[in-house]
Structure 1
Amino acid sequence: MREEAPHILAVDDDARLRNLLRRFLMENGFRVSVAADAAAARAQLQSLVFDLIVLDVMMPGENGVDLTRALREESQVPILLLTAMGESSDRIAGLESGADDYLTKPFEPRELVLRIRTILRRVSRPALLPVPAEPVGEITFGEFRFDPVRNMLWRGEEPVRLTESEGALLAVFAAAPGTVFSREDLAEGEGEAPDGGGNVRTVDVQITRLRRKIEPDPKFPRFLQTVRGRGYVLRPDS
């Protein structure tokens, strides 16, 4: 197997499924490591770098959603959650915790591979509107200032870490403050998602994550606002 093949960490307390995941993913060109629970996954993450984590939600001890939320405090490694729970509220909870996608058991193994490859393509390039060719200067809002050229955000003098996609998203808004962008506009350029409409939901997840970093109260956004029925708008300081 080529050394540059993406390295996947599969985390599931079911030994049978864990081994099936390893075998199937390796057959499809991935390097694969496995872990039986959150503690074992953390140990692996301390010594190895992974391109993506396939993570079971219902595990004894620390569950997959809690582990995802904790990992998002220190890492932006893509995470695909696996769960036997198919309710939309469960899916939303998983995405809000910071997961990139959510697949309900039982699933078709080929769909798992398709979703993994879709996520890896998405994180390898910002799937958002291109920033205009004309240079855009720094923009300020509240305690924050954002430099779209350097893709850097500061809160006062402290840098705030952004993922590539978060920086690209904020750069789109910074290029046209006060302009309402629809979810479809912001998702433009993404490949087709396996379940259809997934690109638009990805935008919603990215907006939620960005609000957690720039809003005093993300539930009542002051800067990155929702315009009902139209989309999102950045309203910086006057």
Structure 2
Amino acid sequence: MSASDSHTGAGRSGPVAAPGEGRHLLVVDDDDRIRELLKEYLAREGFRVTGAAHAAAARRLMELLEFDLVVLDIMMPGEDGLSLTSWVRSKAATSSTPVLLLTARGDADDRIEGLSRGADDYMSKPFDPRELRLRIDAILRRTGPKPIGPKEVRLGDALFDMERLELTRDGQPQRLTEAEAQLLKTLAQSAHAPVERMQLASDTADITGRAVDVQVTRLRRKLEKDPKNPRYLQTVRGVGYMLAPD
């Protein structure tokens, strides 16, 4: 996958099924360039994407967050992708999480080994990102649609309508900017699970994440009785933010 490859999905040819819109993917690859290109491309395709540079980081993330699918490179220093696949399948919390393996090795023995460890599919590098998207869609179709979440979330005396993007407090409407409304919706869709700060920043033009911090501060003033000690819009140190509705 090259820099130019990551943009080939911008002008899709023909309709593409999208069973994975809004799904949360974990991309594990020790190659920073490949990992960031995949994150950028898949985020543009409508997925939430978290990245990990090695197996240890992936384990920590999977113990903390719930993912709908893992895109996993086999050849990594230290623990490789095959071993990590076995770990994913051995844990009750992740045993049903689909795994798509990526590797520069195309030998049949490697494919068989990966599938025997519990991987759902296998792609050899280099690959067309459009094929990756289609394979992810096919896996997610087999695992079934993402459960439909609540249309409203209760946050103490505040209520957020996720369809209308409207916030009320004690029955009184609270004005939200478009950016605040979208941020609150993203957090509400992953209620009680941390969302990476830079993943939230991917929806803005500010790659530093500072705009997200400003929006969170403003939202707390509209949601919290004590914005300096937030109950509902929480900071998860080292990760990002989490919404904890009633």
Normalising to structure 2: TM-score of the pair?
0.49
Structure 1 unmatched ranges of 5 or more? 126-238
Size of the aligned set, in residue pairs, is 123
User: Are residue 22 (structure 1) and residue 39 (structure 2) matched?
Assistant: yes
> What is the match of residue 158 of structure 2?
none
> What is the match of residue 110 of structure 2?
90
Q: Deviations 1:16-49 (Å, cap 9, x if unpaired)?
A: 0000000000011100000000000011111110
> What is the match of residue 196 of structure 2?
none
Note the C-alpha offset of 1:71: 1.2
Q: Deviations 1:87-111 (Å, cap 9, x if unpaired)?
A: 1111010000000000000000000
> What is the match of residue 115 of structure 1?
135
The residue identity in structure 1 corresponding to 2:110 is: D
What secondary structure is seen at the aligned counterpart in 2 of 1:72?
A: helix
Distance in 2 (CA, whole Å) between partners of 1:78 and 1:70 is: 13
Distance in 1 (CA, whole Å) between partners of 2:130 and 2:27 is: 16
Distance in 2 (CA, whole Å) between partners of 1:32 and 1:103 is: 19
Distance in 1 (CA, whole Å) between partners of 2:96 and 2:54 is: 20
> What is the match of residue 99 of structure 1?
119
Aligned pair partner of 1:63 in 36, 58, 80: 80
Aligned-pair RMSD on alpha carbons?
Answer: 1.5
- What does residue range 8-47 of structure 1 map to in structure 2 within 5 Å? 8-47=25-64
Note the C-alpha offset of 1:70: 1.4
> What is the match of residue 52 of structure 1?
69
* Percent identity (aligned): 58
What secondary structure is seen at the aligned counterpart in 1 of 2:72?
A: strand
Q: Deviations 1:125-180 (Å, cap 9, x if unpaired)?
A: 7xxxxxxxxxxxxxxxxxxxxxxxxxxxxxxxxxxxxxxxxxxxxxxxxxxxxxxx
> What is the match of residue 197 of structure 2?
none
Note the C-alpha offset of 1:118: 0.3
- What does residue range 135-154 of structure 1 map to in structure 2 within 5 Å? none
Note the C-alpha offset of 1:57: 0.1
Distance in 1 (CA, whole Å) between partners of 2:50 and 2:113 is: 26
User: Are residue 7 (structure 1) and residue 24 (structure 2) matched?
Assistant: yes
Normalising to structure 1: TM-score of the pair?
0.50
The residue identity in structure 2 corresponding to 1:63 is: D
The residue identity in structure 2 corresponding to 1:112 is: L
The residue identity in structure 1 corresponding to 2:30 is: D
Aligned pair partner of 2:98 in 71, 74, 78: 78
Note the C-alpha offset of 1:76: 1.5
The residue identity in structure 2 corresponding to 1:105 is: K
> What is the match of residue 228 of structure 1?
none
Distance in 1 (CA, whole Å) between partners of 2:88 and 2:68 is: 14
Structure 2 unmatched ranges of 5 or more? 1-20, 146-246
Following superposition, which runs of at least 4 residues in structure 1 exceed 6 angstroms of deviation?
none
